Amino acid sequence: MGALIDREKEREALRARLAQDSSLCLVYGPRRTGKTFLLQHLLASQKRAIYFLADETTSAAQLRRFHAQVAASGLGGRAWGALKQDDWGSLLDVLIQAEADATRPLLLVLDEVQYLLAQEPSLPSILQRIVDAHRKKARLHLILCGSALGTLAALGDAGQPLHGRLDLRLKIGPFAYAQAARFAPRWPLAERLRLYGVFGGVARHLAEIRAGEDLAANACRAILAPLGPLHEAPLDMLRAERLSSRAEAEAVLSSIALGENRFNAIAARANLPSSRLDYVLKELQALEIIEREVRLGDRPGARTARYRCRDPFVTFWFRLLLPNRSALQGTAPEIIWKERIAGRIDGHMGPVFERIAAQALRDGLLQEKLGPLDELGSWWSRDGKTQIDLVARYGDRLLLAECKWRAGSAMPAEALGQLKDHASRYPIPKGIREVCFALASAGRLPRPRKGADAPILIGLKDLLP
Protein backbone atom coordinates (compact mmCIF):
# COMPACT_ATOMS: atom_id res chain seq x y z
CA MET A 1 0.00 0.00 0.00
CA GLY A 2 1.33 3.44 -0.91
CA ALA A 3 2.10 6.24 1.53
CA LEU A 4 -0.76 8.32 2.90
CA ILE A 5 -0.09 11.93 1.92
CA ASP A 6 -1.64 14.76 3.94
CA ARG A 7 -4.61 12.80 5.26
CA GLU A 8 -3.11 12.38 8.73
CA LYS A 9 -5.73 14.55 10.44
CA GLU A 10 -8.57 12.61 8.83
CA ARG A 11 -7.01 9.27 9.74
CA GLU A 12 -6.46 10.35 13.35
CA ALA A 13 -10.05 11.59 13.60
CA LEU A 14 -11.27 8.16 12.51
CA ARG A 15 -8.86 6.39 14.85
CA ALA A 16 -10.14 8.49 17.74
CA ARG A 17 -13.66 7.28 17.04
CA LEU A 18 -12.52 3.67 16.77
CA ALA A 19 -10.91 4.01 20.19
CA GLN A 20 -14.42 4.37 21.65
CA ASP A 21 -16.72 1.43 22.35
CA SER A 22 -18.90 2.13 19.32
CA SER A 23 -19.35 4.76 16.64
CA LEU A 24 -21.17 5.71 13.45
CA CYS A 25 -19.07 7.72 10.98
CA LEU A 26 -19.76 9.23 7.57
CA VAL A 27 -16.93 9.69 5.06
CA TYR A 28 -17.90 11.36 1.80
CA GLY A 29 -16.52 13.52 -0.99
CA PRO A 30 -16.10 13.75 -4.77
CA ARG A 31 -14.94 10.74 -6.73
CA ARG A 32 -11.26 9.80 -6.85
CA THR A 33 -10.26 11.98 -3.89
CA GLY A 34 -8.79 9.08 -1.91
CA LYS A 35 -11.63 8.10 0.43
CA THR A 36 -11.19 4.36 -0.11
CA PHE A 37 -7.39 4.68 0.10
CA LEU A 38 -7.78 6.41 3.48
CA LEU A 39 -10.10 3.65 4.70
CA GLN A 40 -7.68 0.97 3.52
CA HIS A 41 -4.97 2.53 5.68
CA LEU A 42 -7.40 2.50 8.58
CA LEU A 43 -8.46 -1.10 7.98
CA ALA A 44 -4.85 -2.29 7.89
CA SER A 45 -4.64 -1.83 11.67
CA GLN A 46 -7.98 -3.51 12.48
CA LYS A 47 -8.15 -7.16 13.44
CA ARG A 48 -11.90 -7.68 13.01
CA ALA A 49 -13.22 -5.72 10.05
CA ILE A 50 -15.48 -6.17 7.06
CA TYR A 51 -15.10 -3.89 4.06
CA PHE A 52 -18.00 -4.09 1.61
CA LEU A 53 -17.92 -2.19 -1.68
CA ALA A 54 -21.41 -1.66 -3.08
CA ASP A 55 -22.17 -1.39 -6.79
CA GLU A 56 -25.11 -0.72 -9.08
CA THR A 57 -26.54 -4.24 -9.10
CA THR A 58 -29.86 -5.19 -7.50
CA SER A 59 -30.45 -5.27 -3.77
CA ALA A 60 -30.75 -9.09 -3.87
CA ALA A 61 -27.36 -9.40 -5.56
CA GLN A 62 -25.78 -7.05 -3.01
CA LEU A 63 -27.22 -9.09 -0.14
CA ARG A 64 -25.85 -12.34 -1.56
CA ARG A 65 -22.42 -10.85 -2.05
CA PHE A 66 -22.38 -9.35 1.45
CA HIS A 67 -23.45 -12.68 2.93
CA ALA A 68 -20.67 -14.51 1.07
CA GLN A 69 -18.06 -11.94 2.08
CA VAL A 70 -18.93 -12.23 5.78
CA ALA A 71 -18.87 -16.05 5.52
CA ALA A 72 -15.42 -15.92 3.91
CA SER A 73 -14.15 -13.71 6.74
CA GLY A 74 -15.12 -16.30 9.36
CA LEU A 75 -17.38 -13.85 11.16
CA GLY A 76 -21.12 -14.13 11.75
CA GLY A 77 -21.20 -17.24 13.93
CA ARG A 78 -22.33 -20.80 13.20
CA ALA A 79 -25.82 -19.82 12.04
CA TRP A 80 -24.54 -17.41 9.39
CA GLY A 81 -24.36 -19.86 6.51
CA ALA A 82 -28.03 -20.92 6.82
CA LEU A 83 -29.44 -17.38 6.96
CA LYS A 84 -31.84 -16.15 4.31
CA GLN A 85 -30.30 -13.43 2.22
CA ASP A 86 -33.28 -11.19 1.59
CA ASP A 87 -33.17 -8.58 4.36
CA TRP A 88 -30.39 -6.18 5.36
CA GLY A 89 -31.83 -5.68 8.82
CA SER A 90 -31.83 -9.38 9.70
CA LEU A 91 -28.34 -9.98 8.31
CA LEU A 92 -26.85 -7.06 10.22
CA ASP A 93 -28.67 -8.02 13.43
CA VAL A 94 -27.33 -11.57 13.33
CA LEU A 95 -23.80 -10.42 12.46
CA ILE A 96 -23.68 -7.92 15.32
CA GLN A 97 -25.21 -10.26 17.89
CA ALA A 98 -22.85 -13.07 16.91
CA GLU A 99 -19.84 -10.81 17.45
CA ALA A 100 -21.15 -8.89 20.48
CA ASP A 101 -19.16 -10.89 23.04
CA ALA A 102 -15.82 -10.65 21.25
CA THR A 103 -13.01 -8.87 23.06
CA ARG A 104 -12.23 -6.68 20.05
CA PRO A 105 -14.81 -4.40 18.38
CA LEU A 106 -16.26 -5.14 14.96
CA LEU A 107 -15.64 -2.58 12.22
CA LEU A 108 -18.06 -2.61 9.30
CA VAL A 109 -17.35 -0.33 6.32
CA LEU A 110 -20.01 0.16 3.65
CA ASP A 111 -18.30 1.90 0.72
CA GLU A 112 -20.12 3.55 -2.20
CA VAL A 113 -23.15 3.33 0.04
CA GLN A 114 -25.19 5.51 -2.32
CA TYR A 115 -25.75 2.40 -4.47
CA LEU A 116 -27.22 0.57 -1.48
CA LEU A 117 -29.43 3.57 -0.71
CA ALA A 118 -30.70 3.66 -4.29
CA GLN A 119 -31.74 0.00 -4.14
CA GLU A 120 -32.79 -0.02 -0.48
CA PRO A 121 -34.30 3.38 0.47
CA SER A 122 -35.17 2.04 3.93
CA LEU A 123 -31.48 1.43 4.77
CA PRO A 124 -31.10 4.64 6.86
CA SER A 125 -34.05 3.54 9.02
CA ILE A 126 -32.55 0.05 9.34
CA LEU A 127 -29.23 1.55 10.42
CA GLN A 128 -31.01 3.85 12.87
CA ARG A 129 -32.67 0.88 14.54
CA ILE A 130 -29.42 -1.09 14.64
CA VAL A 131 -27.43 1.80 16.09
CA ASP A 132 -30.07 2.48 18.74
CA ALA A 133 -30.40 -1.22 19.63
CA HIS A 134 -26.73 -2.18 19.69
CA ARG A 135 -24.76 0.96 20.53
CA LYS A 136 -24.63 0.14 24.26
CA LYS A 137 -24.70 -3.65 23.96
CA ALA A 138 -22.13 -4.40 21.26
CA ARG A 139 -18.76 -2.97 20.35
CA LEU A 140 -19.67 -1.92 16.82
CA HIS A 141 -18.07 0.67 14.58
CA LEU A 142 -19.93 1.46 11.38
CA ILE A 143 -18.46 3.66 8.62
CA LEU A 144 -20.59 4.79 5.70
CA CYS A 145 -18.60 6.04 2.71
CA GLY A 146 -19.57 7.33 -0.72
CA SER A 147 -19.36 9.98 -3.41
CA ALA A 148 -22.98 11.05 -3.96
CA LEU A 149 -22.43 14.39 -2.25
CA GLY A 150 -26.00 15.59 -1.86
CA THR A 151 -27.39 12.21 -0.81
CA LEU A 152 -24.72 11.49 1.77
CA ALA A 153 -24.46 15.01 3.17
CA ALA A 154 -28.21 14.87 3.88
CA LEU A 155 -28.05 11.62 5.87
CA GLY A 156 -27.59 13.45 9.14
CA ASP A 157 -29.99 16.31 8.44
CA ALA A 158 -32.91 17.07 10.72
CA GLY A 159 -35.86 14.82 9.95
CA GLN A 160 -33.63 12.03 8.61
CA PRO A 161 -33.39 8.68 10.45
CA LEU A 162 -29.69 9.13 11.27
CA HIS A 163 -30.06 12.70 12.55
CA GLY A 164 -28.13 13.10 15.80
CA ARG A 165 -26.50 9.68 15.52
CA LEU A 166 -23.42 10.46 13.44
CA ASP A 167 -20.33 10.67 15.63
CA LEU A 168 -18.16 12.00 12.81
CA ARG A 169 -18.88 13.58 9.44
CA LEU A 170 -15.71 13.66 7.39
CA LYS A 171 -15.69 15.29 3.98
CA ILE A 172 -12.67 14.37 1.84
CA GLY A 173 -11.87 16.93 -0.86
CA PRO A 174 -9.15 17.30 -3.48
CA PHE A 175 -5.66 18.25 -2.39
CA ALA A 176 -4.59 21.89 -2.40
CA TYR A 177 -1.51 22.91 -4.39
CA ALA A 178 0.93 22.42 -1.49
CA GLN A 179 -0.17 18.82 -0.94
CA ALA A 180 -0.10 18.09 -4.68
CA ALA A 181 3.47 19.39 -4.79
CA ARG A 182 4.49 16.70 -2.29
CA PHE A 183 4.07 14.08 -5.02
CA ALA A 184 7.26 15.41 -6.66
CA PRO A 185 9.25 16.84 -3.76
CA ARG A 186 12.54 17.23 -5.64
CA TRP A 187 11.23 19.08 -8.67
CA PRO A 188 12.00 22.81 -9.06
CA LEU A 189 9.45 24.96 -7.22
CA ALA A 190 7.77 26.39 -10.33
CA GLU A 191 7.52 22.91 -11.85
CA ARG A 192 5.81 21.62 -8.72
CA LEU A 193 3.15 24.31 -9.13
CA ARG A 194 2.80 23.40 -12.82
CA LEU A 195 2.22 19.84 -11.64
CA TYR A 196 -0.84 21.09 -9.75
CA GLY A 197 -1.93 23.10 -12.79
CA VAL A 198 -1.82 20.02 -15.04
CA PHE A 199 -2.74 17.10 -12.75
CA GLY A 200 -4.92 19.08 -10.33
CA GLY A 201 -5.64 18.00 -6.78
CA VAL A 202 -7.52 14.70 -7.19
CA ALA A 203 -5.65 11.97 -5.34
CA ARG A 204 -6.25 9.31 -7.99
CA HIS A 205 -4.74 11.53 -10.68
CA LEU A 206 -1.73 12.53 -8.58
CA ALA A 207 -1.06 8.86 -7.86
CA GLU A 208 0.04 8.54 -11.50
CA ILE A 209 2.97 10.93 -10.94
CA ARG A 210 6.43 9.39 -11.23
CA ALA A 211 8.70 11.76 -9.36
CA GLY A 212 11.75 10.48 -11.25
CA GLU A 213 10.35 11.83 -14.55
CA ASP A 214 9.70 15.47 -15.46
CA LEU A 215 6.29 17.05 -15.96
CA ALA A 216 6.27 16.58 -19.73
CA ALA A 217 7.03 12.86 -19.47
CA ASN A 218 4.36 12.37 -16.80
CA ALA A 219 1.73 14.26 -18.76
CA CYS A 220 2.51 12.44 -22.02
CA ARG A 221 2.39 9.02 -20.38
CA ALA A 222 -0.60 9.46 -18.07
CA ILE A 223 -2.79 12.06 -19.81
CA LEU A 224 -1.95 12.57 -23.48
CA ALA A 225 -1.33 8.95 -24.50
CA PRO A 226 -4.62 7.48 -25.81
CA LEU A 227 -4.13 4.45 -23.57
CA GLY A 228 -2.97 6.53 -20.61
CA PRO A 229 -4.89 6.07 -17.34
CA LEU A 230 -6.12 9.69 -17.32
CA HIS A 231 -6.71 10.18 -21.03
CA GLU A 232 -10.49 10.11 -20.58
CA ALA A 233 -10.68 10.88 -16.86
CA PRO A 234 -13.05 13.89 -17.11
CA LEU A 235 -15.36 11.94 -19.43
CA ASP A 236 -15.26 8.96 -17.05
CA MET A 237 -16.20 11.34 -14.24
CA LEU A 238 -19.23 12.57 -16.17
CA ARG A 239 -20.24 9.03 -17.21
CA ALA A 240 -20.26 8.00 -13.55
CA GLU A 241 -22.80 10.69 -12.63
CA ARG A 242 -26.51 10.70 -13.38
CA LEU A 243 -26.55 13.85 -15.46
CA SER A 244 -29.53 15.01 -17.45
CA SER A 245 -27.27 15.44 -20.50
CA ARG A 246 -23.62 14.47 -20.58
CA ALA A 247 -23.14 16.18 -23.96
CA GLU A 248 -24.41 19.49 -22.59
CA ALA A 249 -22.23 19.14 -19.50
CA GLU A 250 -19.19 18.59 -21.73
CA ALA A 251 -20.09 21.66 -23.79
CA VAL A 252 -20.40 23.80 -20.68
CA LEU A 253 -17.10 22.57 -19.22
CA SER A 254 -15.35 23.16 -22.52
CA SER A 255 -16.71 26.72 -22.66
CA ILE A 256 -15.57 27.50 -19.12
CA ALA A 257 -12.14 25.96 -19.71
CA LEU A 258 -11.69 28.12 -22.81
CA GLY A 259 -12.20 31.26 -20.72
CA GLU A 260 -15.93 31.97 -20.89
CA ASN A 261 -16.77 32.53 -17.25
CA ARG A 262 -19.94 34.66 -17.44
CA PHE A 263 -23.40 33.14 -17.84
CA ASN A 264 -24.26 34.75 -21.19
CA ALA A 265 -20.84 33.99 -22.67
CA ILE A 266 -21.09 30.33 -21.65
CA ALA A 267 -24.59 30.12 -23.12
CA ALA A 268 -23.38 31.54 -26.43
CA ARG A 269 -20.37 29.26 -26.79
CA ALA A 270 -22.20 26.14 -25.57
CA ASN A 271 -25.25 27.05 -27.70
CA LEU A 272 -27.69 26.50 -24.83
CA PRO A 273 -30.79 28.49 -23.92
CA SER A 274 -30.62 30.29 -20.58
CA SER A 275 -33.08 28.03 -18.79
CA ARG A 276 -31.21 24.90 -19.86
CA LEU A 277 -27.77 26.34 -19.04
CA ASP A 278 -28.98 27.33 -15.58
CA TYR A 279 -30.00 23.71 -14.92
CA VAL A 280 -26.72 22.23 -16.22
CA LEU A 281 -24.64 24.69 -14.18
CA LYS A 282 -26.52 23.75 -11.02
CA GLU A 283 -25.96 20.05 -11.74
CA LEU A 284 -22.21 20.59 -12.13
CA GLN A 285 -22.10 22.76 -9.01
CA ALA A 286 -23.90 20.10 -6.97
CA LEU A 287 -21.26 17.59 -8.07
CA GLU A 288 -18.52 20.10 -7.16
CA ILE A 289 -17.11 19.98 -10.69
CA ILE A 290 -17.51 23.73 -11.15
CA GLU A 291 -17.96 26.60 -8.71
CA ARG A 292 -19.81 29.89 -8.88
CA GLU A 293 -17.91 32.93 -7.63
CA VAL A 294 -19.38 36.30 -6.70
CA ARG A 295 -17.44 39.45 -5.93
CA LEU A 296 -16.33 39.85 -2.33
CA GLY A 297 -19.06 41.82 -0.59
CA ASP A 298 -21.85 40.83 -2.99
CA ARG A 299 -24.76 38.66 -1.96
CA PRO A 300 -24.56 34.95 -2.95
CA GLY A 301 -27.30 35.40 -5.55
CA ALA A 302 -25.70 38.40 -7.24
CA ARG A 303 -25.87 38.42 -11.04
CA THR A 304 -22.24 39.50 -11.45
CA ALA A 305 -21.13 35.93 -10.83
CA ARG A 306 -18.58 34.01 -12.83
CA TYR A 307 -17.89 30.29 -13.13
CA ARG A 308 -14.76 28.15 -13.16
CA CYS A 309 -13.79 24.50 -12.96
CA ARG A 310 -12.93 23.49 -9.42
CA ASP A 311 -9.99 21.31 -10.40
CA PRO A 312 -7.20 22.62 -12.67
CA PHE A 313 -6.94 19.20 -14.33
CA VAL A 314 -10.45 19.56 -15.78
CA THR A 315 -9.54 22.97 -17.20
CA PHE A 316 -6.29 21.61 -18.63
CA TRP A 317 -8.06 18.64 -20.21
CA PHE A 318 -10.84 20.59 -21.90
CA ARG A 319 -8.61 23.50 -22.89
CA LEU A 320 -5.43 21.81 -24.05
CA LEU A 321 -6.08 18.09 -24.54
CA LEU A 322 -9.58 17.93 -25.99
CA PRO A 323 -8.72 19.99 -29.13
CA ASN A 324 -5.82 17.58 -29.78
CA ARG A 325 -7.54 14.24 -29.18
CA SER A 326 -7.83 13.42 -32.88
CA ALA A 327 -4.19 14.32 -33.53
CA LEU A 328 -3.11 12.14 -30.61
CA GLN A 329 -4.52 9.06 -32.33
CA GLY A 330 -1.77 9.22 -34.95
CA THR A 331 0.93 11.45 -33.47
CA ALA A 332 3.24 10.72 -30.56
CA PRO A 333 2.17 12.47 -27.34
CA GLU A 334 5.65 13.95 -26.98
CA ILE A 335 5.26 15.78 -30.31
CA ILE A 336 1.82 17.13 -29.43
CA TRP A 337 3.13 18.29 -26.05
CA LYS A 338 6.13 20.04 -27.59
CA GLU A 339 4.34 21.67 -30.54
CA ARG A 340 0.86 22.41 -29.21
CA ILE A 341 0.77 22.33 -25.41
CA ALA A 342 4.11 23.22 -23.80
CA GLY A 343 4.00 26.81 -25.09
CA ARG A 344 0.50 27.29 -23.66
CA ILE A 345 1.09 25.87 -20.18
CA ASP A 346 2.15 29.19 -18.68
CA GLY A 347 -0.97 30.85 -20.10
CA HIS A 348 -3.03 28.12 -18.47
CA MET A 349 -1.19 28.74 -15.19
CA GLY A 350 -2.32 32.38 -14.88
CA PRO A 351 -5.76 31.67 -13.34
CA VAL A 352 -4.35 28.63 -11.54
CA PHE A 353 -1.76 30.82 -9.84
CA GLU A 354 -4.49 33.12 -8.50
CA ARG A 355 -6.06 30.05 -6.90
CA ILE A 356 -2.68 29.00 -5.50
CA ALA A 357 -2.13 32.41 -3.90
CA ALA A 358 -5.65 32.34 -2.46
CA GLN A 359 -5.03 28.89 -0.95
CA ALA A 360 -1.82 30.16 0.62
CA LEU A 361 -3.65 33.08 2.25
CA ARG A 362 -6.35 30.72 3.57
CA ASP A 363 -3.61 28.54 5.04
CA GLY A 364 -2.31 31.49 7.04
CA LEU A 365 0.57 32.75 4.90
CA LEU A 366 0.23 36.33 6.17
CA GLN A 367 -1.31 35.63 9.56
CA GLU A 368 1.79 36.71 11.52
CA LYS A 369 1.94 39.94 9.56
CA LEU A 370 -1.75 40.87 9.33
CA GLY A 371 -3.59 38.67 11.84
CA PRO A 372 -6.43 36.16 11.36
CA LEU A 373 -8.07 36.08 7.92
CA ASP A 374 -11.77 36.96 7.97
CA GLU A 375 -12.76 37.16 4.29
CA LEU A 376 -11.14 36.35 0.97
CA GLY A 377 -12.32 36.74 -2.59
CA SER A 378 -11.91 38.73 -5.78
CA TRP A 379 -13.47 41.89 -7.13
CA TRP A 380 -14.16 43.10 -10.65
CA SER A 381 -16.19 45.92 -12.11
CA ARG A 382 -19.35 45.27 -14.08
CA ASP A 383 -17.76 46.70 -17.22
CA GLY A 384 -14.76 44.39 -16.85
CA LYS A 385 -12.21 47.22 -16.85
CA THR A 386 -11.23 46.85 -13.21
CA GLN A 387 -9.95 43.58 -11.76
CA ILE A 388 -8.41 42.93 -8.35
CA ASP A 389 -7.19 39.35 -8.20
CA LEU A 390 -7.44 38.89 -4.43
CA VAL A 391 -9.16 40.96 -1.77
CA ALA A 392 -8.61 39.80 1.81
CA ARG A 393 -9.91 41.31 5.05
CA TYR A 394 -7.93 40.87 8.24
CA GLY A 395 -10.04 42.57 10.89
CA ASP A 396 -9.90 46.27 10.03
CA ARG A 397 -7.09 45.76 7.53
CA LEU A 398 -7.66 45.17 3.84
CA LEU A 399 -5.19 43.45 1.53
CA LEU A 400 -5.40 43.94 -2.24
CA ALA A 401 -3.19 41.60 -4.26
CA GLU A 402 -2.05 41.29 -7.87
CA CYS A 403 -1.11 37.77 -8.99
CA LYS A 404 1.15 37.18 -12.01
CA TRP A 405 2.46 33.73 -12.89
CA ARG A 406 5.45 34.97 -14.92
CA ALA A 407 7.62 31.93 -14.09
CA GLY A 408 11.11 32.46 -15.49
CA SER A 409 10.66 36.21 -16.00
CA ALA A 410 10.32 39.36 -13.92
CA MET A 411 7.10 40.79 -12.56
CA PRO A 412 6.31 43.92 -14.63
CA ALA A 413 7.65 47.08 -13.02
CA GLU A 414 4.28 48.75 -13.47
CA ALA A 415 2.35 45.99 -11.64
CA LEU A 416 2.11 47.88 -8.33
CA GLY A 417 1.00 51.07 -10.06
CA GLN A 418 -1.69 49.20 -11.97
CA LEU A 419 -2.90 47.53 -8.75
CA LYS A 420 -3.17 50.90 -7.00
CA ASP A 421 -4.99 52.34 -10.01
CA HIS A 422 -7.55 49.54 -9.88
CA ALA A 423 -7.77 49.92 -6.11
CA SER A 424 -8.78 53.56 -6.54
CA ARG A 425 -12.02 52.32 -8.12
CA TYR A 426 -12.69 49.65 -5.51
CA PRO A 427 -15.38 50.53 -2.91
CA ILE A 428 -13.50 50.18 0.38
CA PRO A 429 -15.83 48.66 3.00
CA LYS A 430 -16.72 50.66 6.09
CA GLY A 431 -14.55 50.09 9.14
CA ILE A 432 -11.29 49.56 7.24
CA ARG A 433 -8.48 51.61 8.78
CA GLU A 434 -5.57 50.34 6.68
CA VAL A 435 -5.17 49.17 3.07
CA CYS A 436 -2.16 47.01 2.18
CA PHE A 437 -0.95 45.88 -1.23
CA ALA A 438 0.67 42.62 -2.25
CA LEU A 439 2.39 41.31 -5.37
CA ALA A 440 2.48 37.53 -5.90
CA SER A 441 4.50 35.89 -8.65
CA ALA A 442 6.29 32.69 -9.58
CA GLY A 443 8.88 34.86 -11.35
CA ARG A 444 11.31 37.52 -10.16
CA LEU A 445 9.74 40.00 -7.80
CA PRO A 446 10.78 43.64 -7.33
CA ARG A 447 13.40 44.37 -4.70
CA PRO A 448 11.90 44.63 -1.22
CA ARG A 449 11.20 48.19 -0.12
CA LYS A 450 10.79 49.76 3.28
CA GLY A 451 8.12 52.17 4.33
CA ALA A 452 4.39 52.23 4.97
CA ASP A 453 3.54 51.99 1.26
CA ALA A 454 5.89 49.08 0.50
CA PRO A 455 4.00 46.12 -0.99
CA ILE A 456 4.05 42.65 0.53
CA LEU A 457 5.94 40.34 -1.83
CA ILE A 458 4.87 36.70 -2.22
CA GLY A 459 7.18 34.41 -4.18
CA LEU A 460 7.77 30.73 -4.78
CA LYS A 461 9.66 30.21 -1.55
CA ASP A 462 6.74 31.68 0.39
CA LEU A 463 4.24 29.43 -1.37
CA LEU A 464 6.37 26.27 -1.07
CA PRO A 465 8.59 26.81 1.96
Find the mean pLDDT for residues 373-388: 93
Are 62 and 116 contacting, i.e. CB atoms less than 8 angstroms apart? yes
Whether 420 shows a pLDDT value over 70: the answer reads yes
Find the mean pLDDT for residues 87-91: 87
The percentage of residues in the chain with a pLDDT greater than 90, rounded to a whole number, is 69
Virtual torsion, Cα 134, 136, 140, 141, nearest 10 deg:
110
pLDDT score recorded for residue 301: 86
> What is the Cα–Cα distance from 192 to 21, expressed in whole angstroms?
43
pLDDT score recorded for residue 183: 95
| CATH code of the domain containing 188 | 1.10.10.10
Whether 169 shows a pLDDT value over 70: the answer reads yes
pLDDT score recorded for residue 21: 84
> Which is higher by pLDDT, 395 or 43?
395
* Residues 208, 140 share a domain: no
Mean pLDDT of the chain: 92
Are 376 and 358 contacting, i.e. CB atoms less than 8 angstroms apart? yes
Point out the domain boundary residue: 151, 171, 191. Answer: 171
Whether 1 shows a pLDDT value over 60: the answer reads no
Helix pair angle (274-286, 246-257), 10° resolution: 90
Enumerate residues 6+ apart whose C-beta is below 8 A from 48.
75, 99, 102, 104, 105, 106, 107
Enumerate residues 6+ apart whose C-beta is below 8 A from 182.
5, 6
pLDDT score recorded for residue 111: 94
* Residues 210, 313 share a domain: yes
Range picked from 142-156, 294-308, 390-404 for highest mean pLDDT: 390-404
* Residues 109, 206 share a domain: no
Q: Please state whether beta strands 375-380 and 168-171 pair in parallel, antiparallel, or not at all (unpaired).
A: unpaired
> What is the Cα–Cα distance from 315 to 336, expressed in whole angstroms?
18
Point out the domain boundary residue: 350, 376, 404. Answer: 350
Q: Report the Cα–Cα distance between both ends of the chain, in Å, rounded.
A: 28
- Candidates 54, 62, 114, 51; CA nearest to 88 is 62
The boundaries of the domain holding residue 16 are 8-171
Length of the chain as a residue count: 465
pLDDT score recorded for residue 93: 85
Total-model pTM: 0.89
> With b meaning 16 or more CB within 10 Å and e meaning fewer, what string describes 280-319?
bbebbeebbbbebbbbbeeeeeeeebbbbbbbbbbbbbbb
Q: Is residue 357 part of a domain?
A: no
> What is the Cα–Cα distance from 86 to 98, expressed in whole angstroms?
19
Q: Is residue 356 part of a domain?
A: no
Find the mean pLDDT for residues 197-220: 96
Q: What is the pLDDT of residues 12-23, one digit of tens each?
A: 999 999 888 889
pLDDT score recorded for residue 135: 75
* Residues 373, 439 share a domain: yes
> What is the Cα–Cα distance from 462 to 465, expressed in whole angstroms?
5
> What is the Cα–Cα distance from 402 to 388, expressed in whole angstroms?
7
Find the mean pLDDT for residues 199-215: 96
Whether 253 shows a pLDDT value over 80: the answer reads yes
